[in-house]
Protein backbone atom coordinates (compact mmCIF):
# COMPACT_ATOMS: atom_id res chain seq x y z
CA UNK A 1 0.00 0.00 0.00
CA UNK A 2 1.32 3.43 -0.98
CA UNK A 3 2.07 5.64 1.99
CA UNK A 4 0.75 9.19 2.14
CA UNK A 5 3.62 11.64 1.66
CA UNK A 6 2.60 13.58 4.80
CA UNK A 7 2.63 12.11 8.30
CA UNK A 8 0.42 13.29 11.16
CA UNK A 9 3.08 15.60 12.63
CA UNK A 10 3.58 17.33 9.30
CA UNK A 11 -0.13 17.86 8.84
CA UNK A 12 -0.51 19.17 12.38
CA UNK A 13 2.37 21.60 11.87
CA UNK A 14 0.78 22.78 8.62
CA UNK A 15 -2.54 23.42 10.35
CA UNK A 16 -0.87 25.35 13.18
CA UNK A 17 1.22 27.48 10.82
CA UNK A 18 -1.81 28.19 8.64
CA UNK A 19 -3.80 29.34 11.67
CA UNK A 20 -0.92 31.58 12.78
CA UNK A 21 -0.54 33.15 9.35
CA UNK A 22 -4.32 33.68 9.04
CA UNK A 23 -4.56 35.28 12.47
CA UNK A 24 -1.60 37.52 11.67
CA UNK A 25 -3.25 38.55 8.40
CA UNK A 26 -6.50 39.40 10.15
CA UNK A 27 -4.63 41.30 12.86
CA UNK A 28 -2.65 43.24 10.28
CA UNK A 29 -5.89 44.19 8.58
CA UNK A 30 -7.69 45.34 11.70
CA UNK A 31 -5.00 46.58 14.10
CA UNK A 32 -5.65 50.15 12.94
CA UNK A 33 -9.11 49.91 14.53
CA UNK A 34 -8.63 50.70 18.20
CA UNK A 35 -10.47 48.54 20.73
CA UNK A 36 -12.86 50.54 22.91
CA UNK A 37 -15.74 49.96 25.34
CA UNK A 38 -18.58 52.42 25.76
CA UNK A 39 -20.23 52.65 29.18
CA UNK A 40 -23.95 53.17 28.57
CA UNK A 41 -26.42 55.04 30.77
CA UNK A 42 -27.92 51.67 31.77
CA UNK A 43 -24.57 50.44 33.07
CA UNK A 44 -23.95 48.09 30.16
CA UNK A 45 -20.80 47.91 28.05
CA UNK A 46 -20.89 48.26 24.26
CA UNK A 47 -17.71 46.96 22.60
CA UNK A 48 -16.66 48.94 19.56
CA UNK A 49 -13.70 49.48 17.29
CA UNK A 50 -12.78 52.89 15.94
CA UNK A 51 -10.52 53.95 13.08
CA UNK A 52 -9.07 57.45 13.13
CA UNK A 53 -7.54 59.24 10.13
CA UNK A 54 -3.84 58.85 9.59
CA UNK A 55 -1.93 61.79 11.04
CA UNK A 56 -5.18 63.09 12.52
CA UNK A 57 -5.21 66.84 13.09
CA UNK A 58 -7.37 67.62 16.13
CA UNK A 59 -7.76 71.15 14.86
CA UNK A 60 -9.75 69.86 11.89
CA UNK A 61 -13.12 68.15 11.59
CA UNK A 62 -13.69 64.75 9.97
CA UNK A 63 -16.62 62.74 8.62
CA UNK A 64 -17.89 59.84 10.74
CA UNK A 65 -19.03 56.50 9.30
CA UNK A 66 -21.06 54.15 11.51
CA UNK A 67 -21.04 50.52 10.35
CA UNK A 68 -23.55 47.99 11.70
CA UNK A 69 -22.54 44.35 11.25
CA UNK A 70 -24.71 41.31 10.56
CA UNK A 71 -26.08 38.63 12.88
CA UNK A 72 -23.10 36.33 12.38
CA UNK A 73 -20.71 38.85 13.90
CA UNK A 74 -22.56 39.28 17.21
CA UNK A 75 -20.68 38.65 20.44
CA UNK A 76 -18.43 40.38 22.95
CA UNK A 77 -14.95 39.65 21.59
CA UNK A 78 -14.75 43.10 19.96
CA UNK A 79 -13.26 41.51 16.87
CA UNK A 80 -15.86 39.68 14.78
CA UNK A 81 -17.63 42.88 13.76
CA UNK A 82 -14.60 43.75 11.62
CA UNK A 83 -14.94 40.66 9.41
CA UNK A 84 -16.96 42.46 6.72
CA UNK A 85 -16.38 46.03 5.60
CA UNK A 86 -13.43 47.09 7.73
CA UNK A 87 -10.85 46.40 5.01
CA UNK A 88 -12.58 48.82 2.65
CA UNK A 89 -11.73 51.81 4.84
CA UNK A 90 -8.10 50.70 5.18
CA UNK A 91 -7.37 50.83 1.47
CA UNK A 92 -4.50 53.21 0.83
CA UNK A 93 -6.40 55.43 -1.60
CA UNK A 94 -9.46 55.60 0.67
CA UNK A 95 -7.44 56.60 3.73
CA UNK A 96 -5.60 59.19 1.65
CA UNK A 97 -8.53 60.71 -0.25
CA UNK A 98 -11.30 60.28 2.33
CA UNK A 99 -9.86 60.64 5.85
CA UNK A 100 -12.64 59.78 8.29
CA UNK A 101 -13.53 58.32 11.66
CA UNK A 102 -15.05 54.85 11.21
CA UNK A 103 -16.98 53.16 14.03
CA UNK A 104 -17.80 49.42 14.27
CA UNK A 105 -19.90 48.62 17.38
CA UNK A 106 -20.63 44.98 18.27
CA UNK A 107 -24.11 43.71 19.08
CA UNK A 108 -24.35 41.03 21.81
CA UNK A 109 -25.42 37.46 21.05
CA UNK A 110 -29.14 36.68 20.89
CA UNK A 111 -30.13 40.35 20.46
CA UNK A 112 -30.68 42.44 17.34
CA UNK A 113 -29.97 45.96 16.17
CA UNK A 114 -33.62 46.35 15.18
CA UNK A 115 -36.44 45.30 17.55
CA UNK A 116 -38.50 42.17 17.08
CA UNK A 117 -41.46 44.06 15.65
CA UNK A 118 -39.36 44.95 12.61
CA UNK A 119 -37.75 41.54 12.17
CA UNK A 120 -41.13 39.80 12.21
CA UNK A 121 -41.44 40.83 8.58
CA UNK A 122 -38.41 38.77 7.64
CA UNK A 123 -39.51 35.64 9.45
CA UNK A 124 -43.00 35.70 7.95
CA UNK A 125 -41.84 36.96 4.51
CA UNK A 126 -44.73 39.48 4.70
CA UNK A 127 -42.79 42.63 5.60
CA UNK A 128 -45.74 44.05 7.51
CA UNK A 129 -44.86 46.31 10.42
CA UNK A 130 -46.82 48.01 13.18
CA UNK A 131 -47.86 51.55 12.40
CA UNK A 132 -47.37 52.75 15.98
CA UNK A 133 -44.02 53.70 17.46
CA UNK A 134 -41.94 51.18 19.39
CA UNK A 135 -38.78 51.52 21.50
CA UNK A 136 -35.32 50.70 20.15
CA UNK A 137 -33.60 47.47 21.04
CA UNK A 138 -31.06 47.74 23.85
CA UNK A 139 -28.07 47.57 21.48
CA UNK A 140 -29.57 50.27 19.27
CA UNK A 141 -30.07 52.52 22.29
CA UNK A 142 -26.43 51.95 23.19
CA UNK A 143 -25.33 52.85 19.66
CA UNK A 144 -27.38 56.05 19.81
CA UNK A 145 -25.67 57.02 23.06
CA UNK A 146 -22.23 56.21 21.63
CA UNK A 147 -22.93 58.30 18.54
CA UNK A 148 -24.17 61.19 20.65
CA UNK A 149 -20.81 61.20 22.40
CA UNK A 150 -18.85 61.01 19.14
CA UNK A 151 -20.96 63.69 17.46
CA UNK A 152 -20.25 66.04 20.38
CA UNK A 153 -16.48 65.81 19.79
CA UNK A 154 -14.92 68.99 18.37
CA UNK A 155 -13.26 67.01 15.56
CA UNK A 156 -16.55 65.55 14.22
CA UNK A 157 -17.97 67.09 11.05
CA UNK A 158 -21.70 66.93 11.75
CA UNK A 159 -22.45 67.71 8.10
CA UNK A 160 -20.86 64.40 7.10
CA UNK A 161 -22.32 61.62 9.22
CA UNK A 162 -22.91 58.34 7.40
CA UNK A 163 -24.37 54.94 8.29
CA UNK A 164 -23.86 51.58 6.61
CA UNK A 165 -25.01 48.10 7.55
CA UNK A 166 -25.41 44.61 6.16
CA UNK A 167 -28.14 42.03 6.77
CA UNK A 168 -29.15 42.54 10.43
CA UNK A 169 -27.15 45.77 10.18
CA UNK A 170 -29.16 46.77 7.11
CA UNK A 171 -32.29 46.56 9.23
CA UNK A 172 -30.46 48.42 11.96
CA UNK A 173 -29.58 51.19 9.50
CA UNK A 174 -33.22 51.86 8.65
CA UNK A 175 -34.23 51.56 12.30
CA UNK A 176 -31.63 54.10 13.43
CA UNK A 177 -32.61 56.53 10.70
CA UNK A 178 -36.18 56.87 11.90
CA UNK A 179 -34.98 57.39 15.48
CA UNK A 180 -32.43 60.06 14.52
CA UNK A 181 -33.76 61.37 11.19
CA UNK A 182 -31.62 64.53 11.24
CA UNK A 183 -28.23 62.88 11.76
CA UNK A 184 -27.10 61.20 8.56
CA UNK A 185 -26.26 62.73 5.20
CA UNK A 186 -26.16 59.32 3.50
CA UNK A 187 -26.92 55.67 4.19
CA UNK A 188 -25.92 52.43 2.48
CA UNK A 189 -28.06 49.47 3.67
CA UNK A 190 -27.00 46.10 2.23
CA UNK A 191 -29.29 43.04 2.02
CA UNK A 192 -31.57 44.45 4.70
CA UNK A 193 -35.03 45.90 5.01
CA UNK A 194 -37.05 47.99 7.37
CA UNK A 195 -40.26 49.57 8.50
CA UNK A 196 -41.61 51.33 5.42
CA UNK A 197 -44.11 53.24 7.59
CA UNK A 198 -41.22 55.25 9.04
CA UNK A 199 -39.61 56.26 5.72
CA UNK A 200 -41.32 59.69 5.56
CA UNK A 201 -39.51 60.66 8.77
CA UNK A 202 -36.09 60.67 7.11
CA UNK A 203 -36.49 60.21 3.36
CA UNK A 204 -35.85 63.86 2.48
CA UNK A 205 -32.93 64.21 4.89
CA UNK A 206 -30.70 61.35 3.78
CA UNK A 207 -29.36 60.11 0.44
CA UNK A 208 -29.53 56.34 -0.09
CA UNK A 209 -27.72 53.65 -1.99
CA UNK A 210 -29.42 50.31 -1.31
CA UNK A 211 -27.88 46.96 -2.31
CA UNK A 212 -29.36 43.45 -2.49
CA UNK A 213 -28.89 40.12 -4.27
CA UNK A 214 -31.75 38.91 -6.43
CA UNK A 215 -31.49 35.34 -5.11
CA UNK A 216 -31.21 36.14 -1.39
CA UNK A 217 -32.89 33.31 0.53
CA UNK A 218 -32.10 34.75 3.99
CA UNK A 219 -33.48 38.26 3.60
CA UNK A 220 -35.71 38.36 0.51
CA UNK A 221 -34.92 41.12 -1.95
CA UNK A 222 -38.48 42.42 -1.52
CA UNK A 223 -37.34 44.02 1.73
CA UNK A 224 -35.01 46.41 -0.07
CA UNK A 225 -37.44 46.93 -2.96
CA UNK A 226 -40.12 47.94 -0.48
CA UNK A 227 -37.82 50.44 1.24
CA UNK A 228 -36.70 51.90 -2.08
CA UNK A 229 -40.33 52.44 -3.05
CA UNK A 230 -41.26 53.96 0.31
CA UNK A 231 -38.32 56.40 0.25
CA UNK A 232 -39.13 57.52 -3.29
CA UNK A 233 -42.81 57.96 -2.47
CA UNK A 234 -41.77 60.13 0.49
CA UNK A 235 -39.73 62.36 -1.81
CA UNK A 236 -36.30 60.94 -1.02
CA UNK A 237 -33.25 60.34 -3.20
CA UNK A 238 -32.31 56.68 -3.59
CA UNK A 239 -29.93 54.65 -5.75
CA UNK A 240 -30.66 50.95 -5.95
CA UNK A 241 -28.38 48.12 -7.07
CA UNK A 242 -29.64 44.55 -7.35
CA UNK A 243 -27.08 41.89 -8.19
CA UNK A 244 -28.45 39.15 -10.49
CA UNK A 245 -27.90 35.56 -9.34
CA UNK A 246 -26.38 36.72 -6.03
CA UNK A 247 -27.61 35.26 -2.73
CA UNK A 248 -27.33 36.75 0.74
CA UNK A 249 -23.72 37.82 0.33
CA UNK A 250 -24.35 40.99 -1.63
CA UNK A 251 -21.92 42.91 0.58
CA UNK A 252 -18.80 41.69 -1.23
CA UNK A 253 -19.88 43.08 -4.62
CA UNK A 254 -21.19 46.20 -2.88
CA UNK A 255 -17.80 46.81 -1.26
CA UNK A 256 -16.19 46.53 -4.68
CA UNK A 257 -18.38 49.24 -6.20
CA UNK A 258 -15.86 51.79 -7.41
CA UNK A 259 -18.15 54.73 -6.71
CA UNK A 260 -19.49 53.66 -3.31
CA UNK A 261 -17.02 55.57 -1.13
CA UNK A 262 -16.84 58.67 -3.37
CA UNK A 263 -20.66 58.74 -3.43
CA UNK A 264 -20.88 58.32 0.34
CA UNK A 265 -18.55 61.22 1.14
CA UNK A 266 -20.02 63.47 -1.53
CA UNK A 267 -23.18 63.85 0.56
CA UNK A 268 -23.37 66.66 3.09
CA UNK A 269 -26.04 68.07 5.35
CA UNK A 270 -26.52 71.72 6.15
CA UNK A 271 -26.61 72.54 9.87
Mean pLDDT of 37-46: 95
Vertex 108: Cα angle to 28 and 91 (nearest 5): 25
Task: Give the per-residue pLDDT at 5.
Answer: 40
Q: In the CATH hierarchy, which fold is given to the domain comprising 33-266?
A: Rossmann fold (3.40.50)
pLDDT of residue 123: 62
Residue-level pLDDT at 53: 95
In the prediction, which pLDDT does 2 show?
39
Percent of the chain with pLDDT over 90: 78
- Nearest by Cα to 32 from 76, 93, 89: 89
Q: What is the pLDDT of residue 11?
A: 32
Percent of the chain having pLDDT more than 70? 85
Domain boundaries, the chain: 33-266
The pLDDT value given to residue 17: 39
What mean pLDDT value characterizes the chain?
A: 88
pLDDT attached to residue 31: 82
On the question of pLDDT at 224 being above 60, the answer is yes
The tens digit of pLDDT for each residue in 15-24 reads: 333 444 444 4
Which of 247, 57, 69 is closest to 143 using CA atoms?
Answer: 69
At 15 the pLDDT is 34
Please tell me the distance from the alpha carbon of residue 243 to that of residue 240, in angstroms, as a whole number.
10
Please determine, for residue 27, whether its predicted confidence score (pLDDT) is greater than 80. Answer: no
Instruction: List pLDDT tens digits, range 97-152.
Output: 999 999 999 999 989 999 876 776 666 666 677 777 889 999 999 999 999 999 99
Pair type for strands 207-213 and 186-190? parallel
The predicted structure's pLDDT at residue 179: 96
User: Beta 34-39 vs 45-51: how paired, if at all?
Assistant: antiparallel
pLDDT at 6: 37
- Mean pLDDT for 190-200 is 94
Beta bridge mates, 237: 207
Report the C-alpha gap between 13 and 130 in whole angstroms: 56
Name the CA radius of gyration of the chain, rounded: 20
- Predicted confidence at residue 35, as pLDDT, reads 96
What number is the average pLDDT over the span 29-58?
Answer: 92
75-89 tens-digit pLDDT: 999 999 999 999 999
pLDDT bin (cut points 50, 70, 90) of residue 202 is very high
Contacting residues for 27 by C-beta, under 8 A, at least 6 apart: none
Amino acid sequence: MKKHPYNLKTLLLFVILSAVFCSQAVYAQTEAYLKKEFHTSSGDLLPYRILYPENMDHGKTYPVVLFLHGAGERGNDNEKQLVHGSEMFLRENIRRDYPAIVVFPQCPEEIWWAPGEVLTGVRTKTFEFPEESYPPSKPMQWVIELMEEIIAKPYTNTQQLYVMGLSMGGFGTFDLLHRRPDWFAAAAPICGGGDHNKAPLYARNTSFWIFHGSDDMVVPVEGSVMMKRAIKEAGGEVKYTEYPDVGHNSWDPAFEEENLIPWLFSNRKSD
